[in-house]
Structure 1
């Protein structure tokens, strides 16, 4: 598969999972249930989204949902002035996607995870979202490189 097609599939999956996480957050606010995966149901009717992107979005959504509290703790640790609960939903979910990929998906190069998050923030976030997301993820990346997160998130092989 050509590299550009793979990148395009991954970007489509990230966009789909961002929308699904956003919907899940809205639904959770109303129902107080965070384990509802029905926010992915819309993907079944997306004719323009390749099956591979849908599968990746489902994998990302499930992984993020299972580690959401830990991902939010990392965000809080590296953005202490911004309580996670008070972050814009888009920014919070972009950070969750990027952190999941940084910390739990060795197949995604770390710089790619950060760049993709910044691009999502430019498309879906506010005027300051891209800068905020880049700053938080840059701090996390520095923490990873300095071994601050080594106990909780050892570097996978190849990184």
Structure 2
């Protein structure tokens, strides 16, 4: 039983990375995330990895809640509009806010840490600090 959380974390991180890939492509191509998700899933080898279910729920959740998520990010990203943010950061923030607000089984600290870790790998040197600050403020708001 002790192995459960260890095996889930890498799977969830992979799921977040795949969700980022889909949301990034949808953002760049100005397409609905569900449409990009469908073509993304069609390109994957079968059987699909187990974490794809979480990827799908993240993408669908972000798509369903996009206006509210973007409104929060814009409100708490002091001095930044959603459109001025790097595409990677914007979509990492969207995934994390989806988890903060709508995924009860993910702790706020985990959602923030995961976004920051992916930003370290995939974005600018300033991105981890920026995301940590914005997401921390949103998490404070969400727990009120």
Given that 1:95 and 1:117 are in contact with CA atoms closer than 8 Å, whether structure 2 keeps it comes out as yes
Verify: 1:27 aligned to 2:29, yes or no: yes
Aligned-pair distance for 1:3?
1.4
Aligned-pair distance for 1:87?
0.8
User: Superposition pairs for residues 73-92 of structure 1, below 5 Å?
Assistant: 73-92=71-90
Given that 1:14 and 1:97 are in contact with CA atoms closer than 8 Å, whether structure 2 keeps it comes out as yes
Given that 1:9 and 1:53 are in contact with CA atoms closer than 8 Å, whether structure 2 keeps it comes out as yes
User: Superposition pairs for residues 1-159 of structure 1, below 5 Å?
Assistant: 2-28=4-30, 34-40=31-37, 41-47=39-45, 51-145=49-143, 147=144
Query: SS at the partner of 2:50?
Result: helix
Distance 2:33 2:109 in 1: 31
Q: Which runs of 5+ in 2 are unaligned?
A: none
- Structure 1 runs of 4+ with >6 Å offset: none
TM-score (norm. length: structure 2): 0.89
Query: SS at the partner of 2:74?
Result: helix
Given that 1:12 and 1:49 are in contact with CA atoms closer than 8 Å, whether structure 2 keeps it comes out as no
Deviations along 1:108-153, one digit per CA (max 9) or x if unpaired, are 01110010010011111111110100010111122234x2xxxxxx
Given that 2:23 and 2:33 are in contact with CA atoms closer than 8 Å, whether structure 1 keeps it comes out as no
Larger mean CA deviation between 111-120 and 37-46 belongs to 37-46
Query: How many residues of Structure 1 are paired with residues of Structure 2 in the alignment?
Result: 141
Aligned-pair distance for 1:48?
9.3
Distance 1:26 1:45 in 2: 19
Aligned-pair distance for 1:76?
1.1
